[in-house]
Structure 1
Amino acid sequence: MVDEPLLPPEMHITSNIAYFRWHGRGARPWYNYRYRPEELEPWPPKIKEAAEKVEKVYGYFNNHYHGYAVENCLQVLEMLGALTPEQREAKANVENYFKTTAKTTETKLETFVPPTEIKFETLLHCFMDPERIKRAQQIKDEEVTIQQETPNEIRATVKEYHVVIDMQNRVIMHDCADWSKMLPNKKLCKHLGKLLMTLNREKATTILRQIYSNKESWNFKPYTT
């Protein structure tokens, strides 16, 4: 039985072993995903049902360098009432790690992959959550208008909103309501995401790499004429 974006979580008993696999519910990649407790709560009844019909039950969460699999596995064991004292202590340590010492995706990713080698899709996930990426993909191509594009500046409209990306001065300006929420953490809204998806892939990747590598020096601002 599998949990992933493309397949239904249906259980089919075909042997004396049951295999549960949580791939994640992210976009690209799926497995870069931290399950919330409410997303895991429907699973213990299914695991118990399978356990009544087979000899062994195995459960696997996809590996990822963030370490989400460890936390989610221990959460499921706790929901099943099967957590040992040692595992309970480990769960507390993991949760404390994510609360106090876990770094952002951008910092951790750089430890494993040089910025110049990070792909467009991965970079986009550094600045957008899966839901915003999904909403960006739903914007029609004809709703994006590139008004000006030079090596150092892009001016465009996405739907009725304005976007300015100034690479030379490291400034991004935009005027949707969601953008104002993104400013403190320097994240991207669906309109910025759609614009980058529309641009030449090499150029869009270069822009994201520049922001990723020098995030503190970039200024995310409300749009002004």
Structure 2
Amino acid sequence: MHPLPQLESYAIRTFEIDCNQQLTIPALVRLMQETAMQQVLELNISVWDLEQYSLAWVLIRKRIEIERLPMLGEKISIHSYPTGADRVFTYRDFRVYDEAGQQIATAATTWLLMNLQTRQMSRIPAELLARFSGYFPPVEMALPYALDSLPPMEQAFTSRNYVVGWYDLDFLKHLNNVHFVKWMLEALPEETLAKQQIRRMDLLFLAEGNLHDRIDAQFQQIDEATYLHQLVRQEDKKVLATGRTIWV
């Protein structure tokens, strides 16, 4: 089979921008998520298709690289497609293009299947793998897998505190990954968010966030361009996610 890229086009709307009229990173992640969702629905491998197996897709790693963020009213297209799989992991790429066809952002993601009864990772059933493995592109067309480890945070500074609310949950009743991104970034100094441009964001998702969880957003500045991030549940000090961002 040939690759099956999912192509969705969007015009950047007012509720997706910041004070500089640029698309925000959380909004970009949400658009990527929607693009992927349309494809898994088409391939019959969505969360609802997996209910009969008591399985669900879980995002565990995301690496976003940004050349520039589109502006209010600008039209973009997002291409997304699965790029590979092994016993327990699957990989999906995203490429964002402007109206001129220039690539302005990419994301490489890693997913696993979780058994909803045991809460443990599960091997991919052969019949599910067969629904999308034939569409994997040649290796040279795929982004490098996000496999490198993130450095530990040695001096965490708690900047924000959050309580997971009903509208923060996804369709599995877990904290939506868009909020992981948003809460990590909101912890940073206002001057960084207002005056610098993000070029890269690496995320490692370690545990679920649930309704009413109290979460601390922490960061550590490494140098003028680099921050480390983590979200920590107050009740048990469990680290739910770690991250690293690079700015210019």
Shorter-normalised TM range: under 0.3
Of Structure 1 and Structure 2, which has the larger fraction of its residues in helix? 1
Higher-Rg member (1/2): 1
**TM-score if structure 2 supplies the norm length?**
0.24
Instruction: Please state which structure has a larger fraction of its residues in strand.
Output: 2
Q: Which has the higher contact order (CA 8 A, sep 6+)?
A: 2
